[in-house]
Amino acid sequence: MQSSLFIFVAAILASVYSQVSMPPGYEERYPGYYKFSKQVRHPRDLTWDKNIGNGKVFGTLGQNDDGLFGKAGYKQQFFNDHRGKLEGQAYGTRVLGAAGDSTNFGGRLDWSNKNANAALDLSKQIGGRPNLSATGSGVWNFDKNTRLSAGGSLSTMGRGKPDVGVQAQFQHDF
């Protein structure tokens, strides 16, 4: 009885092992063999983008390996004239997953003209600390061979010290 049980278990293990193993180089020699056996996952995300008033409402509902997610927001252009171009955006996200849930919301302002641009982004995770990120840069031409470019950034993550970056370059072509 024990020997027949041992042979039966050995036969099952050999069968399982032979089905999950593949000789080296087999997939390269026979590329079409496993083409239909692999599970193909089609994206099932629902995305929308709709003009409302002077702005645009956008969003996505979807699923990936980490869980379910939803993103939504509103974007509007405030002006685009001699002062430059100013756009604003408010957004939020919600993620439901096995590793935990998270909710974020925030807003962003982007300004640019022919010489410079700047951005300000403020966001907060529910149960966390707010994050602030500000960047700016510009290029000013003094004449056809001389220009100054400068930029900087500021980033804070809650209560810690902010990260500050500054750069400048003066360039003259002889």
Domain map (residue ranges) of the chain = 44-172
Average pLDDT score, the chain: 84
Per DSSP (E only), the strands in the chain are: 46-52, 55-64, 67-81, 84-97, 102-112, 116-125, 130-141, 146-157, 163-172
pLDDT score at 12: 62
Mean pLDDT for the stretch of residues 148-155: 95
Predicted confidence (pLDDT) at residue 5 exceeds the cutoff of 70: no
pTM of this prediction exceeds 0.85: no
pLDDT score at 34: 55
Q: Residues 6 or more apart from 105 whose CB is under 8 A from it?
A: 90, 91, 92, 93, 123, 124, 126
Rounded distance between C-alpha atoms, residue 57 and residue 73, angstroms: 6
pLDDT tens digits, one per residue of 63-121: 887 789 999 999 999 999 999 999 999 999 999 988 889 999 999 999 999 999 999 99
